[in-house]
């Protein structure tokens, strides 16, 4: 199982709507709108890195109002 945080910047005023849409996607554990340099932080999980990449590129990045994403895979050291 691969887990990651997806940090999202949105257009002004779109954070809540973006978080609501993403929260309903399969593979998304949690999506919260936050204050700071990013507007939404998502916790996601997938069976593989490739599946995680497909979630981010084919689904998350296509949500209207997103301007930038940064995917941070969780590592267990």
Tens of pLDDT, residues 63-75: 999 999 999 999 9
Q: Give the whole-angstrom CA distance, residue 20 versus residue 32.
A: 8
Domain spanning 2-73: which CATH class is it, in words?
alpha beta
**Helical (H) or strand (E) element with 30:** strand 28-33
CA 62 from chain centre, in angstroms, equals: 11
The model's pLDDT over 15-70, given as tens digits with 9 standing for 90+, comes to 999 999 999 999 999 999 999 999 999 999 999 999 999 999 999 999 999 999 99
Residues with Cβ within 8 Å of residue 19, at least 6 apart in sequence:
31, 32, 33, 40, 42
* Domain range summary for the chain, segments of one domain joined by +: 2-73
């Amino acid at each position: 199982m691969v887990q990651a945080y997806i940090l999202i910047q949105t257009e002004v005023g779109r954070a809540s709507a973006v978080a609501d849409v993403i929260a309903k996607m399969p593979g998304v554990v949690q999506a919260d709108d936050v204050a700071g340099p990013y507007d939404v932080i998502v916790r996601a999980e997938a069976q593989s890195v490739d599946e995680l990449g497909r979630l981010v590129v084919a689904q998350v990045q296509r949500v209207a109002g997103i301007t930038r994403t940064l995917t941070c895979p969780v590592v267990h050291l």
